[in-house]
Amino acid sequence: MKARPVTLVTFVLPTTLRHWIGDDTQVRVFAVAPGESETPTLGGALDTLRRTHPDLEGRLRDEYGALRRHIGIFVCGENARRLGGLDCELPPGAEVYVLPALS
């Protein structure tokens, strides 16, 4: 059995969410691909974030596991919702910017 691909992901957070990670500007986690021949995804990175920082992850996803409407998530400068949402593939060293949505 081959190992599943893993990538280091950096979540860059706005001031309003930094409280949940000790007032740091960013948090790094590893995203593990669901299978041997697949790519790590945003959903996988959030799953890891749930284990390491559950209070923060709870502000990014709702009780059904979907991305919260009032949060904008950008993967390498692109809106994650347009890239497949939780299934958005993450390149090695991906930077994920989290922003409060503007109404």
Domain that holds residue 18: 6-100
Q: Which residue carries 């347009």 as its tokens?
A: 82
This prediction's pTM: 0.89
Q: What does the pLDDT look like over 32-80, one tens digit per residue?
A: 998 888 999 999 999 999 999 999 898 999 999 999 989 999 998 999 9
What does residue 40 show for φ and ψ, rounded to 5 degrees?
-60, 145
CATH code at position 40:
3.10.20.30
Number of domains in the chain: 1
Confidence of residue 3 (pLDDT cuts 50, 70, 90): confident
Are 63 and 70 in contact, with CB atoms under 8 Å apart? no
Pairing of strands 95-100, 6-12: parallel
Indicate whether 1 belongs to any domain. no
Q: What does the block give as tokens for 71?
A: 């949060």
